Amino acid sequence: MSADSLITPLSPAKNLTGWTVIVDASAYTDEINSKTPNSFHLVGGVPSVGKIVKTVREMGCASVACLIPVGFQREYEELLSGHAIERSSEFISDLIPETIAKYQVMVVRGDMPLITKDTILKLAGQHQLMQSAVTLLTVFGQSRGSQIEVSRRNGVINSIVHPNNSVGSRGLKEVVSGVFAVRSDMLTDLSSEPNKNLDMIELIHHLASSCTRAESSIDAYQITEAGETDTIDDRETLATLEQRLRDRIRRWHMANGVTLRDPNSIHIDDDVVIGPDTVIHPNVTIRSGSRIGAFCNVESNTVIDDSQIGDSVTIISSVLTQARVEANCSIGPFSHLRPNCYLAKGVSVGTNVEIKESRIGENSKIGHFAYLGNVTIGVDVNIGAGAVVANYDGSIKHESSIGDRAFIGSNSVLVAPIEIGADAATAAGAIVTKDVEQGTLVMGVPARKSHSHPGKEISD
């Protein structure tokens, strides 16, 4: 760090355009007592490494690579590709292709889920401003045995102290977080075999030594919020980071117009989107991938998992999994929308209803204690209480359809595959095993045609 940097105002980078980011997910500690590497544990509903990648992607970095623990390459290859990581390796030398020379490189720890965009951009900005060979992200705190200490003279870095060489002095020290920016040409010699198995501590020392030999500058950006650099080391730190991240998520949503009736009891995952003037009541869980519109009311004991909810929807004590619900619908209490359910505008789902892989048309009403499986329902349909679409014959799940304005009486059983025509009706308790023509009323066990549906005008 040059003396000039002491008086040069910090200029955060606007984005990470022109940067390659290497996410260091190689940390694997015995204290966590898990077969899962530290960076792959869920924090705020997503793997910590996935959260880091999402953060740097949103800042426009050119590419993302991942350094993973030895022995885990194949096991986590699919997960990494699912988080938009172009390449991964157990060795950092394999992540430095010749084409990287035109980019600046930043290394970010994958087990550091609380690090913010602001901090990353400030580190990138200082690295560009000072044109340093290496810029370390440091924090002033209690040095642990595995951390590198920074030694300064008159504010200028004159050495970094390897943990093995630390004298164990008491008090707070400036320590290296494990996040740093580096000029790409400083990494070109990492392809040599002696450097192939460098861990991050050894790599930082290697870069510092290279700066000394080449008379290049080494700089540091010291952050004020030490908690951002806390890492997943064991189950206790994992739980602490989870709690702090969820507090941050809740504050963010409240600042954007969402009412949380009892914030501490509400769990919202990191990538959830909620519109303004929506009210979330106590003991609600909203999991990763979910989107909730404006002016919604989500009552207590609801679980929403990877679902899309439109505006002005009311959900009472129900479970939605990979469902899509349009505006002005009402669901529950105690109902369950299983994967691949679609509710069009104005649909009403009553108490203890289960719907599976079905599409419900606009303004249709589904009464209480009903089960609908693999069925397409038209507009303005009424499904009576206790009705069942029996989609499974013991080996195959069959598709069914119910036409517009049909009326399915209470406790009717529709044995799939079956088609109920528009404006048709089934009487209460009917067991329907054959298709029903439009405008027809069927009743009985098994159901038989009675007469045209009284009071119904069949549309063209």
Largest interatomic CA distance in the chain: 98
Specify the DSSP class assigned to residue 379. T
3-class SS of residue 312 = coil
281, 368, 451, 453: the active-site residue = 368
CA distance 308 to 323: 6
CA distance 442 to 450: 5
218 and 148 Cβ atoms separated by less than 8 Å: no
CA distance 325 to 231: 38
Of 117, 118, 113, nearest in space to 270 by CA? 113
Neighbours of 142 (CB within 10 A): 11
CA distance 191 to 128: 25
Which residues are bridge partners to 389 per DSSP?
372, 414
368 is catalytic: yes
CA distance 426 to 442: 5
172-183 and 134-142 as β-strands: parallel, antiparallel, unpaired? Answer: antiparallel
Looking up tokens 């063209």 gives 460
Which residues have a catalytic role annotated? Answer: 368
